[in-house]
């Protein structure tokens, strides 16, 4: 199974930026991209029931085609998935659990209260289990390195103090 980087779609300009960054990371790591469009459902019992199997609007379909073309321009394999959720934060965690990605790019969970939104983002980053990039204006610069196996420690020299 090939490793992947997960990109959750959001506002189109945000998603374009995330696709470029994720595709560059995937190219460097020899990974693929999984682009997920989150589909909200009103009730938990609707999850996976196919109740919302509507066609995508043309503008969303065109945006997905653009995202695929961008990733392929980096030489990265890409696939598109739809993912139903009742709670955005829980849906992100569930999508990441199913894909087991190297990294996740997703819009930060929002909310009417700034402190609560920041707390949700902190909790999401803590529970994700891999690097999580929300690309918020106040975030630190993007830094990522591919995990390398630990190097054996050098043997101590005899007579060295």
100: domain CATH number is: 3.40.50.620
Residue 140 lies inside a defined structural domain of this protein: no
- pLDDT value of position 85: 85
Residue 145 lies inside a defined structural domain of this protein: no
The residue range of the domain holding 62 is 4-133
The whole-number average pLDDT for the span 79-99 is 89
- pLDDT value of position 116: 82
Q: What is the number of domains present in the chain?
A: 1
Find, among 75, 76, 74, 93, the residue nearest to 36 by Cα. Answer: 93
Residue 44 lies inside a defined structural domain of this protein: yes
Distance of CA 11 to the CA centre of its chain: 14
Task: For the chain, give percent helix, strand, coil, nearest 5.
Answer: 40, 15, 45
Question: Is pTM, for the whole model, over 0.85?
Answer: no
Residue 160 lies inside a defined structural domain of this protein: no
- pLDDT value of position 122: 87
Residue 149 lies inside a defined structural domain of this protein: no
pLDDT in tens, 50-76: 555 566 788 888 999 999 999 999 999
Distance, CA of 96 to CA of 9 (rounded, Å)? 14
Can you give the C-alpha Rg of the chain in angstroms?
A: 19
| pLDDT at 44 > cutoff 70 | no
């Amino acid at each position: 199974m090939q490793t992947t980087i997960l990109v959750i779609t959001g506002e189109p300009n945000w998603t374009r930026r995330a696709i470029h960054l994720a595709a560059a990371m995937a190219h460097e790591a020899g990974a693929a991209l999984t682009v997920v469009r989150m589909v909200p459902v009103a009730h938990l019992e609707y999850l996976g029931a196919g109740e919302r199997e509507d066609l995508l609007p043309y503008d969303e379909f065109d945006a997905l085609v653009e995202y695929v073309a961008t990733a392929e321009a980096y030489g990265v394999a890409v696939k598109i998935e739809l993912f139903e959720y009742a709670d955005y934060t829980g849906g992100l965690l569930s999508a990441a659990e199913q894909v087991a990605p190297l990294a996740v790019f997703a819009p930060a969970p929002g909310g009417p209260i700034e402190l609560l939104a920041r707390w949700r983002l902190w909790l999401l980053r803590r529970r994700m289990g891999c690097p999580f990039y929300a690309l918020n204006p106040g975030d630190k610069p993007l830094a990522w390195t591919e995990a390398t196996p630990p190097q054996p420690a050098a043997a101590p020299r005899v007579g060295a103090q």
